[in-house]
Every structure is written in C-alpha cells, then in structure tokens.
Amino acid sequence: MSAQHDVKILFSEAEIAARVEDMAETLKHAGLQNLLVVAVLKGSFMFAADLLRSMHRKGMQPQVEFVHLSSYLEGTVSKGHITILKDIESDVSGRDVLLVDDILESGRTLAFAKDLLTARGAKRVMIGVMLEKPNKRAVQVQADLVGFQSPDVFVVGYGMDVAHNYRQLPFIGIIE
C-alpha cells in the first residue's frame, strides 16, 4: 500500500447525504415503472447504496444490479476502450433503468452502458451521478441527475479511489 496523504474535504458527508435525499425525491416523481437500478462498479457502490436506501424511504421499490465496466484499469486517465468485467443478469426489456455512477467525466463508460441497455430493449435509461466534470466530455452524454459539479481535480472518497485507496472515506475529497 502506498503512503497515505492528507485529503481536503470537497463535499462533506452531510452535504452528500442531503443531496442524495434530494435526488431520490426527484426520482420518486419521475414516473419510473418496473425500475432497475444498475450500479456501475466499483466507484458508485457507496452512492448507489445510499441512493437505494433513500429511494426505499420514499416508498420506491427498485430492483438492483451491478455492472463492472473499466476504461481505466490501473491508470488515472480513461483509455477510451470500455471492457465489461461483470455484466448484469436481469432482462431490461421494456423496463425503466437508472444507471448510477460515481462521476461523469469523459462520458465514455456511461455512454457505452446506456447504449448497451438501450440496445437490449430498456424502455428508458436515465443516468444518475454523484459528480460531474462538464468540461471533460469526450462523447455526447448527459446525466439526468447530478449530485454536484466538480472542479477539474482528481477526487477520492465516497467510493472513488486512486490505486484502490481512499474508497472508504465518507466524504469526497482532494489529495493534497
């Protein structure tokens, strides 16, 4: 394991919790039916868990699946080629799907996943992300739900990592 660094808080645990509740409220009123939440591993696991619990508190009953896609492998810059490391098991035909990811940057991974689910017959595919870096887009894809706009810095915590470190942090931060 590499040496730990100081991490400056960008978005606090309380700010994240409040924003996730707002996002779930928006979803509650989005007219979603037979909803399947597809969490993109690994980075979205904390956000997806919090969002699903919030959706439950608001009376929603989504099913959940996980897809593991990679465009980074060991690096910190997207390579542009998407690899399916673990696919979902559920049939999405005629269903509303919410893709949940940690961050929307280049958009390659989410565009790939949205196109894949649409091609498999999903009625509607929405995208929900905790962070968005709007100036980093390499492909045309928009999130339907965004937790926060992020400055163009490398972020960690709340499921996001650098070389598998810092995922456990309950906040989103910047390594100093």
- The verdict on residue 65 lying in a domain is yes
Q: Which CATH number does the domain housing residue 107 bear?
A: 3.40.50.2020
Burial class (CB in 10 A: 0-12, 13-18, 19+), 107: buried
pLDDT value for 70: 80
Which residue spans within the chain are E strands per DSSP?
7-11, 36-41, 63-70, 83-86, 96-104, 124-132, 145-149, 155-156, 172-175
Q: What pLDDT, on the 0 to 100 scale, is given for residue 76?
A: 54
Whole-number Cα distances in Å, 74 to 102, 162, 174, 175: 17, 9, 19, 18
42 preceded by cis ω (within 30°)?
yes
The predicted pLDDT at position 1 comes to 40
What's residue 2's pLDDT? 47
User: Is 170 domain-assigned?
Assistant: no
118 part of a folded domain? yes
Longest CA–CA span in the chain (Å) reads: 48
Position 75 scores a pLDDT of 53
- Does residue 120 lie in a domain region? yes
Q: What pLDDT is recorded for position 176?
A: 83
Q: Is residue 173 part of a domain?
A: no
Domains identified in the chain, total number: 1
Task: Kindly state whether residue 102 falls inside one of the protein's structural domains.
Answer: yes
**Which single residue is written with the structure tokens 């619990």?**
53
**Residue 174 placed within a domain:** no
Going by C-alpha positions, the residue among 94, 51, 86 that lies closest to residue 65 is: 86
pLDDT for 89 equals 96
Residue 15 lies in a domain: no
Q: Which domain holds residue 73?
A: 28-152
Q: Give 130's strand partners.
A: none
Task: Please report, in tens digits, the pLDDT of each residue of the chain (176 residues total).
Answer: 445 678 999 999 999 999 999 999 999 999 999 999 999 999 999 999 999 999 999 999 999 999 999 875 555 555 568 989 999 999 999 999 999 999 999 999 999 999 999 999 999 999 999 999 988 899 999 999 999 999 999 999 999 999 999 999 999 999 98
